[in-house]
Structure 1
Amino acid sequence: MAAQVDHEERRRQIAEALLRIADTQGLQSASMRAVAAEAGVSLRLVQYYFSTKEGLLMDALARLGGQLQARMASWISAAGDPPTPRAMITAVLSCILPTDPESRRITRTYAAYYTLVLSDPALAEQHVTAQPDLLEGFLAKQLRAAQEAGEADPRRNPELTAAGLLAMVNGLGSSVLGGQRDGEAALAVLGYHLDELFARPGPRLEV
C-alpha cells in the first residue's frame, strides 16, 4: 500500500508541474523535459509514469477538473443547507469567475487547454468538452427544479439557458483576465442576469 501511495504522489507531483507551466507559460511550453525540470525530477522518471505527452496532459486535466469540483463543492456547501436551486446555480457560476488567486489560476489553466484544442480538435472530442457538458447538464437540472418550484421563468429552455449562462461566465472570465473589468464587476453582471432569470412575474396592469 505504501508503494502505491508513493507512486500516486509522484504522478501528482509531475502533473501539477505541468499545470503550473500551463498557468504561467501556456501548454506550448510544457514539453516533457520542461515538466521534469519544473517537478524537480529526471526526464526518464516523467516518461516512466507518463509514456506519452497526451497521457500526461489528460492526467493533469483530470486533476484540474478535480480542483474545480472541490471549489464548487465548497461554495455550494456555503450556499445554504440545503441550498435552493438558485443558490446552487449562483454558487457554481460565481466560483468559476476569476475573482481570487485560485480561480484565476484555474481559469488561466483551462484557457491554456482550450488554446491547445485549436490545434488538435480530436483532443476536444475525446476529453476537453466532457466537464463543460456535465456542468451544463447540472445547471439545466437546477433550472428545471427552479421552474417546477415557481422560482424561475417557465418559458426559458433549461438546456439552452444553462449553455448561455456558462458561455457568459466564460466570457466574463476572459474579460477579467484581460483587464476589461474586475471580479466584482463580473459578479455584478452575473447577478443582473440571474435576477432576470429568477424574477417572478409581476401583476398584470389593467389598461
Structure 2
Amino acid sequence: MLNRLPADERRAQLVESAMGIAERGGVSSVTIRAVAEEAGVSLGVVHYCFESKEALVAAMGEALVLQLSQAMRYAFGQAHADEAQTGLRGLRELLHSGLSAMWPIIEATPNRQLLTYEITAYGLRQQAAGAELAGSIANKQYSTMDAEAVEFLERSAEHTGTRWAEPVPDLARFALAVIDGIVLRWLVDRDGEAVIASLDDLVQMVTGKAVEV
C-alpha cells in the first residue's frame, strides 16, 4: 500500500517524517537514508520525490510556513468573530484577542517552533553557499507571515472604525519581528507570564500607531 500512494501524499508523508527527525535531532540529522527508514520506504522512493537534502529541507520549510499561516489565520479569524467594539479601545482588544488566540498554538508546539528557526538559519547558510532553493525558504517564510499580518491589521482597522497612521506593511514587519523575539526567548526560559506581559506591550505599541476615523 505504501508504494502506491499518490505523489503529493508521498511527498507529504516524507516531509512529515523528515520534520519528526529534525524535531528530535535538528536539521543536521535529516538525511535521505534516515527519512527512508522513518517513513518505511526505500531510498529510491525518497530520491524520486526529492533530488537532494536541500530540496527536502525546502519542502519542510514550506510545510512549516503553511502550518503557521493556517494557525495565524484561525486565531485572527476567531478574534474578529468574537470582538464587536469600535474605536481605539476596540482595536486594542481585537489585537490582544488575536495574539492571545495564537499563543496557545505556539505554546503547544515548542519543538516545531524551534525547528522553524533552525530551518531559517539553515536556509540562510545554504543561500550564502549558493544553494538558492534552500535559501529561498527564509524569504518565503517571512513574506507569507507578512501577508497574513497585513491582512489582519487592515481588517482590524476596518472592523473597529480606525485607520493606521503608518504604512501597514511596516507595522506588520515590526510586530512580527517582536513576536519572533518573544517566541525565541520563551523557547529559552518557558516563562509564560513574561510572554503575556510582552504581548500586552506589543499591542499597546501597535495600537499607538492608529487613529479613529
Q: TM-score, normalised by structure 2?
A: 0.74
1:204 match: none
| Alpha-carbon distance between aligned partners in 1 of 2:96 and 2:143, rounded to the nearest angstrom | 15
- 1:135 matched to 2:135? The reply is no
Q: Is the 8 A contact 1:97 1:169 kept in 2?
A: no
Q: 1:112 aligns with which of 109, 118, 139?
A: 118
Give the RMSD, CA atoms, in angstroms.
3.2
- 1:59-138 aligned at under 5 Å gives the runs 59-81=59-81, 87=94, 91=98, 95=102, 99-102=106-109, 104-121=110-127, 122-123=132-133, 126-138=136-148
The alpha-carbon deviation at position 106 of structure 1 amounts to: 2.8
Secondary structure of 1:178's aligned partner = helix
- 1:35-79 Cα shifts (integer Å, max 9, x gaps): 112222222221122222222222222222222222223323322
Quote the residue 2:203 is aligned against: 194
Superposed displacement of residue 193, structure 1: 2.0
1:163 Cα offset (Å): 1.1
Q: Which runs of 5+ in 1 are unaligned?
A: 202-207
CA distance in 2, matches of 1:142, 1:33: 42
**Residue identity opposite 2:76 in structure 1:** I
Q: Which amino acid aligns with 2:203?
A: L
Question: C-alpha displacement at 1:82, in angstroms?
Answer: 7.5
Could you tell which deviates more after superposition, 138-147 or 125-134?
Answer: 138-147
What whole-Å deviation, never above 9, does each CA across 1:90-127 have from its counterpart, x for those lacking one?
5268626875222x233111112122124212356533
Q: Which runs of 5+ in 2 are unaligned?
A: 85-90
Cα pair 2:72 2:148 within 8 Å, conserved: no
Equivalenced residue count is 196
Report the equivalent of 1:174.
184
Query: How far apart are residue 28 of structure 1 and its match?
Result: 1.2
Deviation at 1:16, TM superposition (A): 0.5
- Give 1:43-58 correspondences, 5 Å limit: 43-58=43-58
Distance 2:33 2:206 in 1: 49
| Structure 1 residues 89 and 46: CA distance shift in structure 2, 3 A | farther
Distance (whole Å) between structure 2 residues aligned to residue 196 and residue 29 of structure 1:
40
What TM-score, normalized to structure 1? 0.76
Which residue of the partner structure matches residue 14 of structure 1? 14
Distance in 1, Cα, partners of 2:134 & 2:171 = 22
Name 1:161's counterpart in structure 2. Answer: 171
Give CA-to-partner distance per residue, 1:115-171, whole Å, 9 cap, x none: 21242123565332113123223423443555566546x443422221111111111
Q: Percent identity?
A: 26
Distance 1:132 1:23, change over 3 A: same
